[in-house]
Structure 1
Amino acid sequence: MNFSIFTLIQLDESSGNSVLQNVIGVFVTVGVVSICMYYVLRYLETVYSRRNKKPYFVHFYFKIKKLPETLTPFLLKNSFYSSLDKQRKRYFEHRTFRFLQEINFVGREGLVIDDFMRMQISMMVVQLTFGMREYLLEYLNTIVIYPTSFYSILNQTQNNGEFNPRSKALALSWEHFQRGNQHKDDGKSLGIHEITHAIHYNSIKNTDISSEIFYDTFLMLEEYLGAQEIRQKLVETRILREYAYTDKFEFIAVLVEVFMETPLELKKKFPEIYGYVAQMLNFRYFED
């Protein structure tokens, strides 16, 4: 009798261990297969992007978010949003909602941040990254707004804007940000300039497909600009202001300003350079 009970207990324990081992085995197998599939798909997308110069897809969301009704009027006044089709408008609104969720806005020197400020800056970031899959930049989680020019402890200079990757912060003079918005055809925008710095830095540090395309295309653009005649023509036409020639980071920031504000002029005078910028940002909306 005791022997039978002991045998049954052993069988029960063996059965329990077998079930547990099977469950663990299933989870391990699923995990290994998932990892393998991820890297295979990642490799295939890299091949696709190098051939087609764009991600396999950009927009995919499990649930599209909508902005509160109080913020909708700001959205409707945005010229880029208004130019989009119905589906893309939903994507733009969703990205703006998510950006507002993720970013901490901070006012300095007594400046009170309101919805208008948040929306103007958020919509500009969303526009610049609208062709990129990863639009929530890893190295940007705080936006500091000053009433006007401010003293930068980091650079020990008087600035209108700066990007600090260590603090993951973007600092802007609201006066100069607004000035750029009021003159949208002069190829000069503080917001576009500083946000481009954040995108550029993010592309250097990350390996997502959009970052790879941005950085790889930037290297191609650098090689193209190695030709003396191209550089000379750029300088002579004065399509870029002198500050662009400070270094390669300022060059691309000023170039994106011109691309966003005067795309037709850039495309007419320098179609190859226009193409490189469109490819870097996967921004084809001026061509629709």
Structure 2
Amino acid sequence: MSLIFLYTLSFQEKPEPGIPKFLGIILTIGIVSICVYYVSRYLETVYARIYKKPFFVHFYPMPKKLPTALLSILQANTFYKQLDKQKKRYFEHRVVKFLETIKFVGREGLEVDNDKRMQVTMMVIQLTFGMRNYLLEYVDTIILYPSSYYSILNKTENNGEFNPRSKALVLSWEHFNIGNLHQEDGINLGIHEITHAIHYCSLKSNNISSEIFHDTFLELEKHLSSVELRNKIIETNILREYAFTDKFEFIAVLVEVFMESPEKLNKHFPDIYTYVSRMLNFRYFKV
């Protein structure tokens, strides 16, 4: 009798074939999540092609705040001061995230203090403030030299460079400051090199901000194919000669002018101004 009972019990406890219920639920949730992601990504791409902007730019459930010592530096920033209260919180959050992500290194005895870190960070955040993906994917380190330095990469004396292989942005602090002091001459080292990093990210990354930057840049290239327009750009002297080195230098110099003299660029070349504002999704100037 006992043998029959044990046999019956073991038969009843035998697990059913197939995937356990809880694993099935997890698998289903995973598949649905992936489908939702790719569908929403596709829809946003379509939306961006029509409206030239992402579904949204800012979403931070728990915005981060700067320590008081750093906040005082931020509050002196010209661009930050013109933002409304909500956008100031967004800007501050992005500054904190960037400082947490990027390593700053001083060379040739240069001490990288809070002011230097903040000045470079605020410039990056301003340039990418209209982009949802604002952390530069191909920049892990920012290296500051006191002045011009010899570049091992280019074998030349440089004021700044972007090195994608090392994921490094290199700047001469002297020339970075000169660019900030003369804000209407269309020459700004920080803006120039950061734009190179943004441009590179647009070629290598597949996020919506990079996609918009890249697609709009291609549209701008077609627009600039007109010989008459190119001659007009040269005649107005709105871009310095270095802009015509290649397409990468052209867009870097163009963004310098866009950020420093938006009214001037919009007055002479409103179509080009519009293309740049779309590339960066930067719609904060009143021109």
Shorter-chain TM-score range:
over 0.9
Following TM superposition, by how much is the alpha carbon of 1:184 offset from its aligned partner in structure 2, in angstroms? 1.0
Match runs of 1:1-288 below 5 Å:
1-14=2-15, 21-287=20-286
Deviations 1:38-84 (A, max 9, x none): 11101111111111000010001131000011101100000100000
Following TM superposition, by how much is the alpha carbon of 1:118 offset from its aligned partner in structure 2, in angstroms? 0.2
- AA partner of residue 75 (structure 1): L
* SS, match of residue 238 in structure 2: coil
* SS, match of residue 68 in structure 2: coil
- AA partner of residue 5 (structure 2): S
* SS, match of residue 13 in structure 2: helix
User: TM-score, with normalisation over the residues of structure 1?
Assistant: 0.97
- AA partner of residue 37 (structure 1): V
Following TM superposition, by how much is the alpha carbon of 1:23 offset from its aligned partner in structure 2, in angstroms? 1.2
Following TM superposition, by how much is the alpha carbon of 1:2 offset from its aligned partner in structure 2, in angstroms? 2.4
Whole-angstrom distance in 2 between the partners of 1:10 and 1:191: 74
Whole-angstrom distance in 1 between the partners of 2:72 and 2:212: 34
Following TM superposition, by how much is the alpha carbon of 1:21 offset from its aligned partner in structure 2, in angstroms? 1.2
Deviations 1:235-278 (A, max 9, x none): 00000000000000000000000000000000000000000000
* SS, match of residue 172 in structure 1: strand
Whole-angstrom distance in 1 between the partners of 2:163 and 2:140: 11
Whole-angstrom distance in 2 between the partners of 1:6 and 1:118: 74
Whole-angstrom distance in 1 between the partners of 2:268 and 2:182: 21
Whole-angstrom distance in 1 between the partners of 2:103 and 2:278: 30
* SS, match of residue 277 in structure 1: helix
Deviations 1:170-196 (A, max 9, x none): 000000000001111111100000000
Structure 1, 5-14 or 53-62: larger mean CA deviation: 5-14
Identity of aligned residues (%): 63
- AA partner of residue 32 (structure 1): I
Whole-angstrom distance in 2 between the partners of 1:234 and 1:270: 8
Deviations 1:89-114 (A, max 9, x none): 00000000000000000000011100
Following TM superposition, by how much is the alpha carbon of 1:10 offset from its aligned partner in structure 2, in angstroms? 3.5
- AA partner of residue 221 (structure 1): L
- AA partner of residue 62 (structure 1): P
Whole-angstrom distance in 1 between the partners of 2:244 and 2:104: 31
Deviations 1:156-175 (A, max 9, x none): 00000000000000000000
Whole-angstrom distance in 1 between the partners of 2:253 and 2:263: 16
Give 5+ residue unaligned stretches, structure 1: none
* SS, match of residue 47 in structure 2: helix
- AA partner of residue 13 (structure 2): D
Whole-angstrom distance in 1 between the partners of 2:97 and 2:27: 34
* SS, match of residue 105 in structure 1: strand
Whole-angstrom distance in 1 between the partners of 2:26 and 2:4: 36
Whole-angstrom distance in 2 between the partners of 1:117 and 1:80: 17
CA RMSD of aligned residues (A): 1.2
- AA partner of residue 60 (structure 1): F
Whole-angstrom distance in 1 between the partners of 2:255 and 2:56: 23
* SS, match of residue 143 in structure 1: strand
Whole-angstrom distance in 2 between the partners of 1:53 and 1:7: 69
